[in-house]
Amino acid sequence: MSVFFTYAGTRSCAGGATVVYSSRPRMSNSRLRRLLVSLSFVGAVACEAGSPAPPPAGAPAHSVTQVPAESLTASASSPLEAPAVLPVSVAAPSPSEPPPELTGGGKRAVRGDAGLVTSVEPHATRAGLEVLRKGGNAVDAAVAVAFALAVTHPSAGNLGGGGFMVIRRASGESHTIDFRETAPAAATTGGILAMVKKGAYGYPATAVPGTVAGLELAHQRFGSRPWSELVAPATALAREGHRLGARQALVLGWAWSRLQQDRAARAIWGRQGKPVQKGDLVKQPDLSRTLEAIASEGARAFYEGPIAKKIAVAMAAHRGLVTEEDLRSYRAKLRAPLRFTYRGFTVDTMGPPSMGGIAFAQIMRVLERAKAHEAPAGSGLSHHLFAEAARRAYSDRRRASADPDFSPGAQPLLATLLDDGYLEARRPLLDRERATPSVDIAVPPEPEPLESQQTTHFSVVDAQGNAVACTVTLSAGFGAKVVVPGTGVIFSNALAAFSPTGTNTVAPGKRMQSSMSPAIVSRSGHLALVLGSPGGDTIPNTLAQVFRNLVDHGMTVDEAVESPRVHHQWLPDRLRIERNNPPSRSALEDLRRRGHALHLDAMPIGHANSILVDASGTAWGHADSREGGIAEGHAPAQAAPKR
């Protein structure tokens, strides 16, 4: 029987199971076993006893199997439309040796015995921590952090953009929430190409936002505290004002030439024709009123009614495409995580429409096969093996990633790309001594849209062992550089992330590709790591290097995050080096000798706000110094005994 993880040709049986039909070639039993122990989409099947629905006409009988139900949707008008799902998983392989022990926090790490939050902005971190102190769980805290970031870190935190969230419950269940933006009904490839040519900003660049719906879905399914309580910190920050941080002031300065052309944006962040500076008080009364409505009425207040009307009116007046019907039709989705294993650790990350998760997974599986953990940390060989694994993964990732609602064939391909048989046969094979020219890996495609690095990630762990990894974005810094009058809401320019050809072309209601790939790692059934980063195309590489530093090289969490990073994304064929935090001189010389073209770049690679949970159950967090930020832990009056 041929088995593929795919949503192609689905039918539902009475109990909620999804039956899938595929006409792909058969997979041998031995190859299938290898695949099942290395990859799973953790989701749910709940079907009443009896036979599944018959195959559609023309479907081959040999290619029928059951897979997880695809998604649970939420919107303003109907928060929980699909039947509830129960998580199932495929057993991970037994490693040949025990998983490596994780070292711990380190001198610069923050300890959290009863919970921990780390993000790029202090007000947001503290908003989440206060929720934990009041007895909220990790999802409650994540909702509070995300709303606060929309106020205090407006270059990426948002109500008008989107993102991905990975949730691991204390029971071991894992889920992902997809609240990536979608294309308005009127969007076309020609219109997008024209918009990109003009700079990819303004109302024509805006997409249908998903953040508010995604946060509501997370809260309804997994939260415990009142919704209004979680929105309240952000509302207060917007109404009473907050002092602008150094990083936020810097990014504001970068975007000011465009932002100042928008009257509403200029009123918020302008002072006598110049952008506000570090330490200046920023009040956002329109945004506070929007947040008050969301706190009172939920996501419905954003996607329907007066706020939606204001959005639609502004769009129509400035050639934007988002309509009231587009807003009303938006759905956040509970999807099955992409799961892979590495040296006995289990990683849950994002599947499509993320192309980051598949790149992260393939990098680690290639490195495991190459025994890269035996190379000394920071050595030229270690960086070389990583770059060669990344080069191959980045050439594959766009092939396997697209909105699964529109590209059912992407799921079988994704499974194939992580199969041992494919990795064994991948040509040219990884050379431990020499860099492989990128043109030898695959035929260069048509130019793909570049991803902005102005995204943001935060991580949360609570006292019970629940964890959240969440990455949100406006695509470019400050998105489309427009604020809808009367709402305080900045919209993303995510339409620019669609491609002119291939699986990532635009269609009404379709999600665009993204590299965002929040991840949660477990060891022997226990929570171990919460990982993620902003950085556009650099995100999968950032995660992989932090993960390697922790697992392969035994670093503390602060050392793992602060260590030098490199970046190779297949094309252009060069190895990007952080100018201000490079590898050792000997490592760089070794990389040149192996044939790598080194490119020094002043821009840092990623911003990995990470959490490590040690064997005793203590959480250690570190906020990456590359963009600033803060990690704060919650300690109970009397520390609970360790497990």
- The set of catalytic residues is 455
Q: Are the C-beta atoms of residues 528 and 613 closer than 8 Å to each other?
A: yes
**How many Å apart are CA 308 and CA 313, to the nearest integer?**
9
Locate 66 and state its tokens: 């059951």
Q: Are the C-beta atoms of residues 65 and 3 closer than 8 Å to each other?
A: yes
Q: Where are the alpha helices (DSSP H) in 117-226?
A: 122-133, 138-152, 189-197, 211-222
Cis check for the bond before 540: say yes or no (omega within 30 of 0): no
Cα separation values, 197 from 192, 201, 305, Å: 8, 10, 34
Contacts of 480 (CB under 8 A, 6+ apart): 201, 202, 203, 205, 206, 474, 490, 491, 492, 493
Helix (H) or strand (E) segment spanning residue 163: strand 162-168
**Residue 536 assigned to a binding site:** yes
Given CA atoms 575, 581, 584, 589 in this order, what sign does their dihedral have? Answer: positive
Phi, psi of 371 (to 5 degrees): 50, 45
Q: Are the C-beta atoms of residues 24 and 428 closer than 8 Å to each other?
A: no
CA atoms within 13 A on the CB side of 134: 15
CB atoms under 10 Å from CB of 178, counted, come to 28
CA atoms within 13 A on the CB side of 116: 27
Q: Are the C-beta atoms of residues 529 and 611 closer than 8 Å to each other?
A: yes
Cα separation values, 165 from 51, 139, 622, Å: 35, 10, 19
CB atoms under 10 Å from CB of 391, counted, come to 26
**Residue 172 assigned to a binding site:** no
Residue 575 identity (one-letter amino acid): L
**How many Å apart are CA 384 and CA 378, to the nearest integer?**
10
- Binding residues, as ranges, are 180, 514-515, 536
Binding-site sequence positions for L-glutamate: 180, 514-515, 536
